[in-house]
Amino acid sequence: MSEPAVSQRAAAKPVEFQTSPQHYHHWKLTVEGAVATLAMDVQEDLPLVEGYKLKLNSYDLGVDIELADGINRIRFEHPGVRVVVVKSLKPKMFCAGANIYMLGTSSHPFKVNFCKFTNETRCAIEDASQYSGLRFVAALNGTCAGGGYELALACDEIYLVDDGNSAVSLPEVPLLGVLPGTGGLTRLVDKRKVRRDRADVFCTLAEGIKGKRAKEWGLVDDVFPTSRFEAEVNSRVNQSLQTMPPTQTAQGVRLSPLEVQGTADAREYRYVSLKLDRAGRVAHLTLRAPEEKQPETPEGILEAGDRYWPLRAYRELDDALLHLRINESEIGLVCLRTVGELAVIREVDTVLWKNREHWLVREILLHMARVLRRLDLTAKSFFTLVEAGSCFAGNLLELAWAGDRVYMRNDPGKDVQISVSALNGGVLPMSNGLSRLQSRFLKNPEQVERVMNHSEPVGAEEALEMGLVTVAPDSLDWDDEIRLAIEERRSLSPDALTGLEASLRFAGPESTDTKIFGRLTAWQNWIFQRPNAVGEHGALTNYGKPTKGKFDFRRT
């Protein structure tokens, strides 16, 4: 395929990830007491870029950016919500899935990062169910295909209208020659525990399965006739509310727009700086500790709201990471730095740990963990550089360990140190369910306790001896060591590095998330480039045309 128009347009006009309910085009967020409703009403003439129409509630990245924002706002701005109903405002149509014409005209990196973002959004739904006391109900009032059903699979309950026509389906294999891109296969058998043989039949039926058979196979929780559908869904929502803990009476925290100044080669936030060296294919990402006094009580944190450093800084970090993923595909290496006082970060972590049961502090910690996992799952190399003036303590030490390597300058005269806090003990887990310390010391688990009991800051030599950093060059060798490491990294194949990093970052046990993202990295990077999918005669290329896909039937 020739380089598609979508990627060229995206390069000319970067995708922005900030939005808010008053600016949504495709979703409507309403809150009534303990129930929030996210209603999908995709405007077909308002795609993210020109060149396709979003018919039948099909979605592109712009649609999912709004959904991700809505989920985040429910958690922070509406702490009284207990049940979230995900529904459609289009008659007889829930969601047709990812827009095929968008996929067919997008660059390969864009397709893969689009699938990754949409799946992270679905993971955020499950994260809210597991840790925030929310319950998500998918009310399928009509056809639900592909990514639409994958959205439903992320919910706790799925109800389908029984109108003789509406079905659930994962038609990617028979129609497009690809696979469900946002965890559908894994959630089908791991989460809903659908029998393997039934799942095999289901995933090769383009028309899907409807009615009582869908319920019998475990694809949905129940089916209701059209005349009773809305009433029955409401009844199930009320039943859930009766079994759930009392709602929060606290006022939520408004998430105001981030302040960012963008230039051709940089993005500058309040606490985050992103500088781009496109010629060298390197980005420099720096987080700054707060200089202003931070609140020490839940009441003070509520008053600070989204100005509170852990919430603001990690929202900014998230935006910078998404910008790198979607808009800077040729940047292969990101150098991570911090600036500030170790003691300040340690004090912030102490307050977070002490008040971790408070609803807002809990949500902030969960958000920080999701952003760190976003970094873990980003297909870039990350080198952490610990220098004079760094503040890699506690939560920012998690940021350091999220890097593929940690370089710490051995310069005793400059007081270069790192420090653990209580937050390093598992409050900010990786996708495999382990802390980064546990993942780091799989062979020597006793080292985790030793590190956590070491409450004082440590210098480069001690950090190296404890296994907390990779290399500790002295001041004479530092510049050359970093320069050579960067030059070596950027000379390697980006495809090989993506596979290498995705394989090495998640040592230890598998989880649903690691299965989804590991397989996503493998199959999307392979199947999305195979001629059977995107070649001249591929199924995705020929979708919607009078010609049909022609396959090379050799198995590899």
122 lies in the same domain as 62: yes
Per-residue confidence (pLDDT) for residue 6, from 0 to 100: 39
231 lies in the same domain as 289: no
Cβ(249)–Cβ(80) below 8 Å: yes
**Is the pLDDT confidence value at 260 over 90?**
yes
216-237 confidence digits (pLDDT tens):
999 999 999 999 999 999 999 9
**Is the pLDDT confidence value at 4 over 60?**
no
**Is 205 part of any domain?**
yes
202 lies in the same domain as 344: no
Mean of all residue pLDDT scores within the chain: 93
Name the amino acid, one letter, at 274.
L
186 lies in the same domain as 317: no
426 lies in the same domain as 330: yes
Pairing of strands 135-140, 157-161: parallel
Q: Is 105 helix (H, G, I), strand (E, B) or coil?
A: coil
Local confidence band at 379 (pLDDT 50, 70, 90 cut-offs): very high
Per-residue confidence (pLDDT) for residue 8, from 0 to 100: 37
- Please, which residues bridge with residue 405 across strands? 383
**Is the pLDDT confidence value at 1 over 70?**
no
**Average pLDDT for 321-347:** 97
**Average pLDDT for 72-91:** 97
CATH at 125 = 3.90.226.10
Per-residue confidence (pLDDT) for residue 516, from 0 to 100: 87
Q: Which two tokens stand for residue 86?
A: 């995900």
Q: Is the dihedral of CA 255, 261, 266, 268 positive or negative?
A: negative
Q: What's the pTM?
A: 0.94
261-297 confidence digits (pLDDT tens):
999 999 999 999 999 999 999 999 999 999 999 999 9
Let me know how many helices (H) and strands (E) the chain has, helices first. Answer: 24, 19
Q: Is 402 helix (H, G, I), strand (E, B) or coil?
A: helix
**Is the pLDDT confidence value at 248 over 80?**
no
Report which DSSP code applies to 472: -
187 lies in the same domain as 275: no
Mark which of 180, 213, 243 sits at the end of a domain.
Answer: 243
Domain that holds residue 514: 501-542
Q: Which two tokens stand for residue 373?
A: 């996992």
Q: Is 335 helix (H, G, I), strand (E, B) or coil?
A: strand
**Is 550 part of any domain?**
no
Per-residue confidence (pLDDT) for residue 10, from 0 to 100: 40
Per-residue confidence (pLDDT) for residue 424, from 0 to 100: 97
316 lies in the same domain as 426: yes
DSSP codes of every residue in 189-209: IIIS---HHHHHHHTT-TT-E
494 lies in the same domain as 506: no
More confidently predicted of 407 and 531: 407
Per-residue confidence (pLDDT) for residue 527, from 0 to 100: 83
Per-residue confidence (pLDDT) for residue 2, from 0 to 100: 33
403 lies in the same domain as 350: yes
Indicate the number of domains in the chain.
3
Local confidence band at 324 (pLDDT 50, 70, 90 cut-offs): very high
**Is 172 part of any domain?**
yes
Distance between CA 429 and CA 426 in Å, rounded? 5
Mark which of 471, 498, 525 sits at the end of a domain.
Answer: 498
235, 225, 221: which is closest to 163 by C-alpha?
Answer: 225
Per-residue confidence (pLDDT) for residue 488, from 0 to 100: 97
527, 551, 523, 525: which is closest to 537 by C-alpha?
Answer: 551
**Is the pLDDT confidence value at 9 over 50?**
no
220 lies in the same domain as 316: no
**Average pLDDT for 484-498:** 94
Share of the chain above pLDDT 70, in %: 97
443-469 confidence digits (pLDDT tens):
999 999 999 999 899 999 999 999 999
Q: Which two tokens stand for residue 282?
A: 């390197």
Per-residue confidence (pLDDT) for residue 223, from 0 to 100: 98
> What does the radius of gyration of the chain's CA atoms come to, in whole angstroms?
24
**Is 198 part of any domain?**
yes
**Average pLDDT for 152-177:** 96
Contacts of 262 (CB under 8 A, 6+ apart): 14, 268
Q: Which two tokens stand for residue 357?
A: 């049961």
Per-residue confidence (pLDDT) for residue 522, from 0 to 100: 77
Per-residue confidence (pLDDT) for residue 351, from 0 to 100: 98
CB atoms closer than 10 angstroms to residue 311: 22
473 lies in the same domain as 524: no
More confidently predicted of 64 and 499: 64
More confidently predicted of 521 and 205: 205
**Is 529 part of any domain?**
yes
Per-residue confidence (pLDDT) for residue 427, from 0 to 100: 97
- Picking from 20-24, 173-177, 309-313, 358-362, which range would have the lowest pLDDT averaged per residue? 173-177
150 lies in the same domain as 69: yes
Per-residue confidence (pLDDT) for residue 12, from 0 to 100: 55
CB atoms closer than 10 angstroms to residue 481: 16
